[in-house]
Amino acid sequence: MPHIVVIPGVAAVVLAPDLNRPDEAFPEMMKLVPSGLLGIVFAALIAAIASSLSSMTNSISTIFVLDIYKPILNTNATEKNLVITGRIVSIISMFVAVVLAVPLLGKFEQAFQYIQEFTGFFTLGIVVIFMLGIFWSKTTSNAALVAALSSALLSLALKVYWPSLPFMDRVGVVFVCCIIIAIIVSLVDKKNLGSYISSPTNYTFSTTKSYNVISLGVIVVLTSLYTTWW
C-alpha cells in the first residue's frame, strides 16, 4: 500500500513538475496509461470509492441504530423499524456529507491531505492501544482510554498552537507522546489490570522467511524514496 500511494506521487514530481495543485497529479499520470488499461484503472477507482462509502454509511447507521435509537429512543423497536431507521440515517448522513464537503475540503490544497490529517487525530490512539495491548501485558483499560483521548487532544492542540508543523511530523510526535502517557498511566493504575488479560506468551508472533525478506524490501524502498524526494 505505501508503494501504491508514494510511487505515483514521486513519478508526478519528475514527469509533471509544473502542476498548479497536488490533486492534478493523479489525472495527469492517467494520461500516460493506455486506453484499455485506463478504463480498468478508472473502474477500480470508482469501485474503491463506492466500497468505502458503503462501509462508512453502514457503520454510521449501525452505530446510531444499535447504540442510540434502540437502547435510548425506542427500546421496543422491531427489526423492521431498525432497518427502516438505519436506511433513513444513511440517507441523512449522505446529505450531511455533501453539505460539509465544500467548506471542509475547500480549505485544503488536496483532499488526500485532509483525509490523512484528520484520521490521524484518532488512528494514533488506536495503534497505541493495539501495540501495548498485544506486546505489554501490564497495559490497563484506563491507559487505553487515556491514549485514545490524548491522541485527539494532542493532535488538535499541536494543529492550533503549532500550525507550521507538518501533519506527518505531528503524527509522529503525538504517537510517541501517547505511548509514553499510556505506559505512565499503566504503571500508576496497576489495580485496573484485569486477570482476564491473556499473556503474549500464549501466542506466537513468528513470521516466515519470505515475509521477513519482502517486509525488509518494502522498508528499504520506502526509506530510499522518502530520503530522496521528501
State the number of CA atoms in the 13 A half-sphere of 96 facing the CB.
Answer: 8
Output the tens digit of pLDDT for each of the chain's 230 residues: 666 777 777 788 888 888 887 778 888 888 888 888 888 888 888 898 889 889 989 999 999 999 899 998 888 889 999 999 999 999 999 998 888 777 766 666 666 677 777 788 888 899 999 999 888 888 888 899 999 999 999 999 998 898 888 887 888 899 999 999 999 999 988 765 554 455 556 666 678 899 999 999 988 988 887 788 66
The span from the CA of 36 to the CA of 8, in Å, is: 19
Q: How many residues does the chain have?
A: 230
CB contact burial 205-225 (16+ within 10 A = b; e otherwise): eeeeeeeeeeeeeeeeeeeeb
For residue 154, give the nearest of 129, 181, 131 by alpha carbon. 181
Q: How many of the other CB atoms lie within 10 Å of CB of 85?
A: 19
- pLDDT per position as a tens digit, 158-189: 988 988 888 878 888 999 999 999 999 999 88
In Å, what is the CA distance from 112 to each residue of 5, 9, 18, 23? 10, 12, 19, 8
The x, y and z cell numbers of residue 48, run together, are 474503491
CB 45 within 8 Å of CB 33: no
- pLDDT per position as a tens digit, 124-171: 899 999 999 888 888 888 899 999 999 999 999 998 898 888 887 888
CB 65 within 8 Å of CB 84: no
**Per-domain boundaries in the chain:** 109-197
For residue 17, give the nearest of 26, 8, 7, 25 by alpha carbon. 25
Helices (H), 162-203: 167-188
Cα 26 to the chain's mean position, in Å?
A: 21
Query: Which pTM does this prediction carry?
Result: 0.60
CB 140 within 8 Å of CB 185: yes
The span from the CA of 58 to the CA of 66, in Å, is: 12
